[in-house]
């Protein structure tokens, strides 16, 4: 195919037009142009502004004279037919020529009825009295079937169809009605659950019946394997199929899951984590047997990587757990006890604390880090003594002061100014003289005492007993024994000085040596050696009474009490007969003579005695029966003084007497028991008591007495 290619460009030509004036020829021609570049100049091109318009170009149907022949769209117009019913086919008798179909026209003709959209060539022939397909035949659709529609629902029964056009309205072209007596039953009927095939599809109640499930155990949940399709619920059936065990009422979707290897709640999982008795397990990521308390999982059996324990404080490190050893080299809590590098670490370092604050450590302490006040080295060998440490001055004290392992004399650095001077003991009697040396401990043959007055005689030294031989055995500068210089030789030399160490203790003319005048005097002079028997001389040296022994209480109430003891008790018995009346008892016997007692009283300012009165039907204290009779005891002191009897004690005229137990007030049944006695306390230097007065003590059955030997008088 040859194709002309138009390349637009502007050409300029000149139309020859010359004029001669005289002998001169003048060119008067006008230049030609091709403005649209189609190869034709303006003298030939009828539209030099369009390259699609020029002579020789084919005419196209566009309302333009394309080929410049003076005619528009010649030989290129099309014929279109009026399509009044808009069915795509036009009336052959009504035409128009145009480039394109005008509105309401069609390029196709032969419509035999342009007023009916259902009539055109090729249309489907219908039984409507028309030539629908324009084949000049009316109602010639003889290939159709018509079905009887007895129920008038628009669908006919499949049996006995007729062909051709339907004879009347009781026939329809649609078949398939499976029940032509019920207008609700046809192929487009609505299926309802009524045991009828409402939509004539060969199925009854399809998609409408409900599947019900046998509920054998009656727990409200059905067995998916035993079903019944029905419109209503059959007996012993339910609408759900959720029961996974229809023989056990305890197994269904709402039953609680328990750890028993059974799917109790029918969720397809056995013993899941929500089981009532599931355990809480803890992740053991590091496999050390201890779990992370922050990573939990509930389960009936321990999941892989989980344990029951929740005490792991670092589940990413299997060396960290409660069974691990605490280490100082790690900056974390190895044994999960919430402490880091505590004192139970197995790699503790030893430091030394300064317990005595002397600036030196000595008491070892195990710790991961150096404690405050602790030292790396041990320079103190005695943490109880701040004067002992390495570098201290060694002194004589039987202690290794400078911690060098050497004590006192064994240490050449000892400060001898703290030692003692020892003296050579030639005769080895324990006393030295002359040659001396200074040391902490005495060298062999040396002693501390230098008082020996004769190093050639072992029997002569300050500790020797003085002999009556005209020599100074004890080196006191005195011959024989008058150590106290009181003019009386010691008894060991045949003298009569009973204490040659005290010039104040002198013998009586008649013999005998008293330590003091009374127990109080002995205590005050510092001669007491505790409770016991001492020799006393109450009336003084060489004055009447000879010294005699007395028991001294040196502890009670400050001590210094001299005992005045009885030789016998007042027996518990019936002492009197003949009815009431004031009567004295038998005089009490004492260990000391009256003179000795009087001498002690003369030196005393205090005295006390308890009188324990045993009784049976005898009232010792005070009683007035309303008849004017008073019943009480009275006492006779050592000097013969009688206390006021028949009075209530303490009385204003007898203040020294008080009652500390009134057991005889019952007037019968006392039985002489100390627990039922009336006990008097007498606080006076007039004691001891030597007799008692009584009243109402002479009738039958009336007894009294007193354990006098257990209740001495005491003077101080």
For residue range 587-615, what is the model confidence (pLDDT) as tens digits?
A: 999 999 999 999 999 999 999 999 999 99
CA distances for 328 relative to 290, 316, 325, 372, 632, angstroms: 22, 19, 10, 17, 89
Residue 65 φ then ψ, to 5° = -80, 85
Q: Is 79 left (phi over 0), alpha (psi -120 to 50) or beta?
A: beta
Q: Is 139 left (phi over 0), alpha (psi -120 to 50) or beta?
A: left
What residues pair up with 82 in beta bridges, in sequence order? 91, 105
Q: Tell me, what's the pLDDT at 555? A: 96
Cα separation, 255 vs 219, in Å, equals 10
Percent of the residues in the chain that have a pLDDT greater than 90, as a whole number: 40
Q: What integer is the mean pLDDT of 335-339?
A: 92
Q: Tell me, what's the pLDDT at 265? A: 92
Q: Tell me, what's the pLDDT at 137? A: 82
DSSP 666: G
Which residue in 525, 522, 527 sits closest to 562, CA to CA?
522
Range with the poorest average pLDDT among 59-73, 98-112, 312-326, 493-507? 493-507
Q: What integer is the mean pLDDT of 685-699?
A: 91
CATH number at residue 629: 2.60.120.1000
Structure confidence by residue, pLDDT tens digits, 515-528: 889 999 999 988 88
Omega before 688 within 30 of 0, i.e. cis: yes
Return the CA Rg of the chain.
77
CA distances for 12 relative to 28, 30, 34, 500, angstroms: 16, 10, 7, 182
Decide: 486 and 506 in contact? Cβ < 8 Å. Answer: yes
Cα separation, 174 vs 146, in Å, equals 7
DSSP, residue by residue, 342-361? -TT-TTPEEEEE-TT-SS--
Residue 671 has pLDDT above 90, yes or no: yes
Decide: 461 and 444 in contact? Cβ < 8 Å. Answer: no
Q: Tell me, what's the pLDDT at 161? A: 83
Cα separation, 404 vs 389, in Å, equals 9
Domain termination site, one of 265, 283, 299 = 265
Give a yes or no: residue 405 inside a domain: no
Decide: 634 and 619 in contact? Cβ < 8 Å. Answer: no
Give a yes or no: residue 344 inside a domain: no
Domain tally, the chain: 2
Give a yes or no: residue 77 inside a domain: no
Q: Please report which confidence band the pLDDT of residue 136 belongs to, taking 50, 70 and 90 as the band edges.
A: confident
Q: Is 305 left (phi over 0), alpha (psi -120 to 50) or beta?
A: left
Structure-block tokens of residue 577: 């007969």
For the entire predicted model, the pTM comes to 0.37
Q: Tell me, what's the pLDDT at 212? A: 93
Q: What integer is the mean pLDDT of 650-654?
A: 84
Q: Tell me, what's the pLDDT at 1? A: 34
Residues 6 or more apart whose Cβ sits within 8 Å of residue 318: 286, 287, 288
Structure confidence by residue, pLDDT tens digits, 402-444: 999 999 889 999 999 999 999 999 999 999 988 899 999 999 9
Sign of CA dihedral 659, 660, 666, 671: negative
Higher-scoring residue by pLDDT: 672, 131? 672
Q: Please report which confidence band the pLDDT of residue 23 belongs to, taking 50, 70 and 90 as the band edges.
A: low
Cite the DSSP H helix spans in 96-157: none
Which residue in 288, 307, 291 sits closest to 299, CA to CA?
307
Q: Which long-range contacts (CB under 8 A, 24 or more apart) does 153-159 make?
A: 153/177, 153/183, 153/184, 153/185, 153/186, 153/189, 154/186, 155/180, 155/186, 155/187, 155/188, 155/200, 156/180
Residue 505 has pLDDT above 90, yes or no: no
CA distances for 604 relative to 559, 597, 598, 714, angstroms: 13, 10, 10, 10
Give a yes or no: residue 350 inside a domain: no
Structure confidence by residue, pLDDT tens digits, 344-391: 888 888 889 888 888 888 888 888 888 887 888 888 888 889 989 988
Give a yes or no: residue 697 inside a domain: yes
Q: Is 665 left (phi over 0), alpha (psi -120 to 50) or beta?
A: alpha
Which residue in 603, 382, 389 sits closest to 514, CA to CA?
603
Percent of the residues in the chain that have a pLDDT greater than 70, as a whole number: 89
Domain of 249?
209-265
Residues 6 or more apart whose Cβ sits within 8 Å of residue 709: 565, 566, 567, 568, 569
Residue 542's SS3 state is coil
Give a yes or no: residue 198 inside a domain: no
Higher-scoring residue by pLDDT: 8, 120? 120
Higher-scoring residue by pLDDT: 259, 161? 259
Domain termination site, one of 225, 243, 265 = 265
DSSP, residue by residue, 232-248? SPPTTEES---BS-TT-
Give a yes or no: residue 235 inside a domain: yes
Residue 26 has pLDDT above 60, yes or no: no
Structure-block tokens of residue 516: 């003091």
Residue 264 has pLDDT above 50, yes or no: yes
Structure-block tokens of residue 653: 């005229």
Q: Tell me, what's the pLDDT at 666? A: 82
Cα separation, 399 vs 413, in Å, equals 13
Q: Tell me, what's the pLDDT at 306? A: 95
DSSP 594: H
Decide: 688 and 597 in contact? Cβ < 8 Å. Answer: yes
Give a yes or no: residue 72 inside a domain: no
Q: Please report which confidence band the pLDDT of residue 238 belongs to, taking 50, 70 and 90 as the band edges.
A: very high
Residue 481 has pLDDT above 70, yes or no: no
Residue 317 has pLDDT above 60, yes or no: yes
Domain termination site, one of 265, 297, 332 = 265
Q: What integer is the mean pLDDT of 436-458?
A: 90
Cα separation, 301 vs 116, in Å, equals 85
Q: Using CA atoms of 66, 70, 72, 74 in order, give the dihedral in degrees to the nearest 10.
A: -100
């Amino acid at each position: 195919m040859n194709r002309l290619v138009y390349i637009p460009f502007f050409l300029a030509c000149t139309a020859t037009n010359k004029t001669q004036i005289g002998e001169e020829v003048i060119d008067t021609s006008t230049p030609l142009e091709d403005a649209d570049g189609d190869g034709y100049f303006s003298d030939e091109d009828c539209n030099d502004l369009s390259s699609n318009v020029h002579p020789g170009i084919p005419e196209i149907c566009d309302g333009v004279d394309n080929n410049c022949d003076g005619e528009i769209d010649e030989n290129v117009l099309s014929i279109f037919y009026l399509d009044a019913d808009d069915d795509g086919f036009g009336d052959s008798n009504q035409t128009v020529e145009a480039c394109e179909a005008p509105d309401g026209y069609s390029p196709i003709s032969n419509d035999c009825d342009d007023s009916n959209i259902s009539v055109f060539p090729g249309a489907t022939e219908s039984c409507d009295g028309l030539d629908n397909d324009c084949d000049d035949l009316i109602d010639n659709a003889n290939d159709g079937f018509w079905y009887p529609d007895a129920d008038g629902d628009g669908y006919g029964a499949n049996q006995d169809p007729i062909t051709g056009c339907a004879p009347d309205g009781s026939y329809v072209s649609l078949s398939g009605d499976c029940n032509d007596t019920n207008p609700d039953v046809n192929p487009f009927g609505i299926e309802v659950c009524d045991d009828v095939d409402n939509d004539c599809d060969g199925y009854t109640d399809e998609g409408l019946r409900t599947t019900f499930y046998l509920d054998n155990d009656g727990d409200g949940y059905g067995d998916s394997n035993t079903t019944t399709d029905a419109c209503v619920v059959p007996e012993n059936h339910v609408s759900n199929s959720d029961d996974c065990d229809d023989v056990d009422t305890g197994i269904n979707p709402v039953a609680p899951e328990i750890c028993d290897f059974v799917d109790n709640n029918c969720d397809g999982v056995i013993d899941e984590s929500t089981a009532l008795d599931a355990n809480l397990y803890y992740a053991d990521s590091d496999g050390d047997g201890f779990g992370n308390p922050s990573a939990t999982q509930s389960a009936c059996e321990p999941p892989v990587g989980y344990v029951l324990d929740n005490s792991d404080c670092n589940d990413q490190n299997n060396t960290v757990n409660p069974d691990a050893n605490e280490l100082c080299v790690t900056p974390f809590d190895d044994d999960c006890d919430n402490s880091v590098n505590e004192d139970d670490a197995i790699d503790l370092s030893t430091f030394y604390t300064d317990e005595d604050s002397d600036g030196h450590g000595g008491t070892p302490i195990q710790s991961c880090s150096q404690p405050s006040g602790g030292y790396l080295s041990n320079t103190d060998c005695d943490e109880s003594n701040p004067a002992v440490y390495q570098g201290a001055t060694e002194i004589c004290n039987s202690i290794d002061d400078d911690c060098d392992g050497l004590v006192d004399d064994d240490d050449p650095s000892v400060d001898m100014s703290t030692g003692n001077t020892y003296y050579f003991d030639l005769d080895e009697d324990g006393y030295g003289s002359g040659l001396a040396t200074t040391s902490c401990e005495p060298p062999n043959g040396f002693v501390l005492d230098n008082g020996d007055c004769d190093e050639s005689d072992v029997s002569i030294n300050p500790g020797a007993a003085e002999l009556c031989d005209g020599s100074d055995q004890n080196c006191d500068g005195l011959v024989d024994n008058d150590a106290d210089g009181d003019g009386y030789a010691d008894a060991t030399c045949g003298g009569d000085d009973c204490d040659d160490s005290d010039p104040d203790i002198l013998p009586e003319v008649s013999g005998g040596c008293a330590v003091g005048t009374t127990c109080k005097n002995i205590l005050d002079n510092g001669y007491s050696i505790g409770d016991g028997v001492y020799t006393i001389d109450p009336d003084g040296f060489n004055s009447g009474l000879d010294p005699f022994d007395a028991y001294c209480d040196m502890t009670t109430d400050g001590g210094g009490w001299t005992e005045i003891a009885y030789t016998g008790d007042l027996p518990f018995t019936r002492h009197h007969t003949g009815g009431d009346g004031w009567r004295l008892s038998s005089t009490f016997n004492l260990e000391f003579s009256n003179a000795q007692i009087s001498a002690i009283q003369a030196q005393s300012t205090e005295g006390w005695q308890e009188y324990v009165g045993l009784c049976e039907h005898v009232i010792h204290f005070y009683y007035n029966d309303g008849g004017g009779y008073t019943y009480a005891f009275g006492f006779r002191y050592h000097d013969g003084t009688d206390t006021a009897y028949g009075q209530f004690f303490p009385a204003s005229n007898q203040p020294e007497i008080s009652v500390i137990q009134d057991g005889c007030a019952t007037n019968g049944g006392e039985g002489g028991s100390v627990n039922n006695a009336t006990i008097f306390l007498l606080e006076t230097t007039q004691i001891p008591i030597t007799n008692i007065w009584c009243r109402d003590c002479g009738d039958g059955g009336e007894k009294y007495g007193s354990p006098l030997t257990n209740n001495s008088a005491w003077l101080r």
